[in-house]
Chains A and B, each alone.
Chain A
Amino acid sequence: MQRKHTRKSSSFHMTLARKKIVWAYIFLAIPIVFFAYIRIYPTFFAFQMSLHDYNPLAAEQPFVGFENYEKVYEELSKRKSTTKAAFRNTISYVALGVPIQLFLALAIALMLNEIRFMSTLYRILFFLPFVTSTIAIAWVFRMLYQPRFGLFNIILQLLSLPQQPFLTRPQQALPSVLALVIWQGMGFAVIIFLAGLKQIPRTYYEAAEVDGASRWHTFRFITLPLLNPSIVYLLVLQTISFLRMFAPVIAMTEQGRGGPLDSTVTVVLQTYREAFQSFNMGYASSLTVVLFAMILGVTIIQLSVTSRRIN
C-alpha cells in the first residue's frame, strides 16, 4: 500500500515536470516558428532566387542555373566594376576596421579597468554611440565632414592646417566612413573586454608582482591569454558586422550610392541597388550567397585558429 502510494505520487510529480517541459517547448515553438519563417526560409529562398532570372515585377521568373554566379565572376574579373569595388571595399573595411577597433577598445578597457573615480560615467560615454541610431549618427558625421563649414574643417582651420575634402574625395571617403563605424561600435567591444578583464583572478597579478614581472610581461603573459575568449568572440562578431556594412554608407554618401567613384560601396549596398533599383534580384541574391560563403569561411577559420585552449 505504502509502495503503491509512493509510486503514484512520484508519477504525479513526473507528469507535472513533464507538463512544464511540454509547455516550455510550446512557448519556445512560437519564436522558433517565427525565426524559421522570417530568417531561415528567406535565406533558402535567396539561394533559390540566385538560380533564377528573378525580376520581382515580372509574372515569371525563369530558371537560369548558375548564370548569376558566372556574372559575379565576370564582374570581378573586369578591370573596373562596381561589384569588384564593392568586394574590395568590404575587405578593406574588415581588414582595417576590425584590428583598429579591437586595439582601441582593448586600450580603453584597460584604462577604464584602472580608474575608480567617475568610471561609470566614462563607461556610459563610450557605450552611448553603440545604442544610438546608426543613421542619425551617420547624418551628423556627414555634416561634421562638410568642406569649409563642417566642424572638423573648422578645427583644422583653427589649427592653421589645410582643409580636407573628407567624404568628397575617393582617397579619403573610405577612411572617413570607417572612422565613424569604428567609433560607433567600439563601446560594445569595450564592455566585452571589461567583462573579460573582471574574470581574471587578482591572485595571478599578485603572483606576477611578487615574481617582479614588468607591466608588459604581465599584460603579455597573463591579461592577453586570459582575455582570449573575449578576443575570439569580438573578432568573429565584429568581422561579421563589418562584412555586412550598409547603413553608414547609404547615409553618408551622395544619394546613397557609395561614391565618389565607388570608393565606399559595400557588397550589401551593391546587393540592395541591384535588387531594388535595377530589379536584378537573381544577381543580387547570388551576391548575398557569395557574401554568406565569405562570412562562413572567415568565421570557421577564425574559430579554429584563435579558440585554442590556453593553459
Chain B
Amino acid sequence: MRKLLAILALGVIVLSLGAVAGAQDDMVEIEYWQYNFGARVDAMNMLIEQFEAENPGIKVVHNSDIPYADFRTELAASAPAGVGPDVVTLFYGWIPAFVDAGYLVPLPEDPFSEEFILETFSPMVANSKFEGSYWAIPTAVRSLALFWNKDIFEAAGLDPESPPATLDDVVEMALATTVYDGDMQDVLSITQQGHAPALASQDHHWFREVLIRQYGGAPYSDDGRTVTYNSEEGCAAFSWLAAFETEHVTGSNDILDGATNAFVNGESAIHVDGSFRVGTIARNNPDLNYGVAELPVGPNGEQHTFGSYWTHGITRRANDDPARLEAAVKFLQFITTPEAGTLWVNNVGELPAQLSAASDEMILADPILGPFSAGLAYSHATFFVDESAQRQVLIDAFDNIRLGGMDPCEALDEAAALEQELIDNFWADRE
C-alpha cells in the first residue's frame, strides 16, 4: 500500500512539473499531414527544418505515415475524434468535398489576397477558388506530357528523336511500334504496345481537358456545373482514344501489368503521363531510354494540357485556436514561396507553383522537365465535386466500349448523365 502511495505521489509530482514546464514556454505546436510518398516527405522535412529555425516559437509535427490509399480514410477517422492536422495537403480535386463538409476554412486575405494569388501563381491555382474564397494553396503543380521510348522507336525504324507531334502521328507511330506474338492481331497477343489507352490512370484527364478541346468541343460549361462532353466533338475525341484498343489494337491497360507499368518496364512506345512519373522511372527502371515532349496538337492545331496539384489548406481545428491559426498561416506562407517551389522541384520533380520559379531557365532547358513546364501556360484543371466518382464514370464509359461493344457516343451520353447527377447532387446539398 505504501509503495502504491509512493508511486502515486511521484506521478503527481511529475505531472505538475510537466504543467509548469508547459506554462513556461510559449511553444505553439501545429500538426501537418500529407500522404506517404518518399520524395515529398523528405522535401517537407527540409522545409519544416528551415521554418522552425526561422520561427523558434513554432513546432511542426509532420505526420506522413499514411499510405495514399488510406489518406482520406484516416482524415475521416480523425475528424470525429477531434484530432488531426492543422495544415493538410489534399489533391486539388478533393477540395470541394472538404469545403462542403466544413473541414477547411478559407485562407485569410492577409497574406493570401486574390490579387497576390492571381499575380504570382500558375493560372490553374485559381481553380481552388470556390464560393468566393481560396481554400488551399500549393507548393508545386504538375502537367501532362507525352513520354516515348527511344529504343522502341529506333527498333521500329522511326527517328528516336522525333516524338509524335500531332494526334495522327500518335496513331501512325503506335501502329508501327506494336508487336504481336504470332499472326493473331488481338489484344491478348500483344507483346509490345504502341500505345495503350488507360482511363484509370491519366487518360481520363487527357480526354476531358485536352482531346475534347482539340476536337473543338468543351468538357463542361464555363461555370463547371453542366457536363458538355457528350457532344459530337466529344464523341469524336473519345472514339479516337478508344480506337487504339478496339480498332488499331496497339495496346490495352489489361495486359503487361497495366499501361503505366508497361511503359516503365520498356514494353510500351508512347504514353501520356504526369511529371511525377519521372521519379517512378528513375526509381524502378533508371536505364529506360525515353524522352518527354509536349502533348501532341489536335486537329484544330491547338495545344492543351491537364494541370493538377496537391495543395495545402487550413483546417477547422486550427481555426479553433488563434495561436495555432497564426502559426498555421505562417507555415503555409513559408511552404508556398518560390524558394520552397525550387526546393520541391529539385527533390520531388514537381514544378514550382509560383510562376517566377516555374519559368526558371534551368527548368525550361531541362529535356525532361522543360515540356511539363512549357505546358503550364496552356493547362486546365477540372473542377471536380467527387474526383473518384467522376473518374469512375469515364472509366466505365470506356469499358462499355471496349468490353461491352457499346457505341462511343452512347457510352458518353450515359457517362454524362451519371456525372451530371453527381454534380447536381453536390450543388443541391449546398443550396
- Residues on A lying within 8 angstroms of B by beta carbon are 55-60, 146-148, 163, 165, 168-170, 254-257, 259-262, 273, 275-279, 281
Contact = CB atoms under 8 A, between A and B. Distances in A.
A278 B102 contact: no
The 4 A-B residue pairs with the shortest CB-CB distance, nearest first, are A57-B101, A168-B254, A56-B76, A58-B101
Q: Classify the interface of chain A: helix, strand, loop or mixed.
A: loop
B388 A277 contact: yes
Contacts of B400: 261
Interface string B62-94: 000000010011011101100000000000000
B403 A276 contact: no
B389 interface: yes
A278 B388 contact: yes
B248 interface: no
A196 to B, nearest CB: 42
B31 interface: no
B399 A276 contact: no
A169 B72 contact: no
Given A57-B103, A170-B403, A170-B404, A259 B254 contact: no
Select the residue from A55, A276, A279 with max chain B CB neighbours within 10 A: A279
A70 B254 CA distance: 37
B429 to A, nearest CB: 8
A57 B75 contact: yes
Contacts of B188: 147-148, 163, 165
A177 B76 CA distance: 30
Q: Classify the interface of chain B: helix, strand, loop or mixed.
A: helix
Interface string B389-431: 1001001100110011000000000000000000000000000
A58 B102 contact: yes
Contact of A56 (B77, B181, B200): B77
Nearest to B186: A163
A275 B191 CA distance: 40
A148 B255 contact: yes
A279 B256 CA distance: 34
A37 B77 CA distance: 17
A60 B102 CA distance: 9
Contacts of B399: 170, 259-261
Given A260-B403, A278-B388, 7 more contacts: A58-B102, A147-B187, A147-B188, A170-B403, A254-B200, A255-B200, A261-B404
A278 B386 contact: yes
Contacts of A275: 76
Interface string B186-198: 0110010000000
A57 B80 CA distance: 7
Contact of A259 (B79, B102, B386, B395): B395
